[in-house]
Amino acid sequence: MNRQTMSKLSLDRILQSQGFGTRKYCRELIADGEVSIAGVVHDHFKELIDTEGLVFRIFDEEWEYREHVYLCLNKPANFECSRKPSHHPGVLTLLPEQLSWRDVQPVGRLDHDTTGMLLMSDDGPFIHAQSSPKRHIPKVYVATTAELVTDELVTTLLSGVQLHDEPAPLSAQTCVRLGEYQLQIVLEQGKYHQVKRMLAAAGNHCSALTRTAIGQLQLADLGLAEGEWCYLSAQQLSLLIPDA
């Protein structure tokens, strides 16, 4: 089977794979003439369509076919990184419904009150690889503290602090004072509540926390306001790969 044949799918399967609902509903959309490609209505659900470079329109909105989606969300406070949130709205409510139908999931978690860069995808191996501590992917946080940021605090975080449920001390990869009550801390481990717990163990307290970068991908470069999201390009995804 050649590449061209492998890239062709029936129109109803394409719509279902892109998150437009059940196969039955997608067939109804097609039969109702709601699907067009390059200005031409396609109303036969069995029609084979080449997915490579495919752009289609539904309800006058344009969509690009994507085998998998890779997103970055600038997470606001008071949203939970869970498909079944318990106390606050889930981050999936900030995305179009089609992405939720695709089973998009957060890559790791941020606390409900932590803001900033959150990766999301429907690609299981990608989620696993990005979440694995074995990858040693640096994550950059800016923490606002309740007490003054002292030289001693920075030194302690770089030297390592002992958390009660960890076998060995945890240390920051880098730690830089940004202001009297603010510091930038880079971690690789990704433990539960790690920044907050490390600051507490070092004798301070985290009053606000935001993640500004993962690997070499900077949130500031994406131009996202809080609550906004974007698709990540292949070049942007490459910035998530740690240096060899």
Listed residue (207, 179, 13, 17) closest to 98, CA to CA: 17
Give me the sign of the Cα torsion angle 114, 190, 207, 148. negative
- Please give the single-letter amino acid code of residue 214: I
Catalytic residue selected from 12, 43, 50, 111: 111
Q: Decide: 6 and 49 in contact? Cβ < 8 Å.
A: no
Helix (H, G, I), strand (E, B) or coil at 77: coil
Residue with structure tokens 């740690």? 242
Quick check: is 111 catalytic?
A: yes
What contacts 92, CB < 8 A, 6 or more positions away?
Answer: 83, 99, 100, 104
Q: Which residues are catalytic?
A: 111
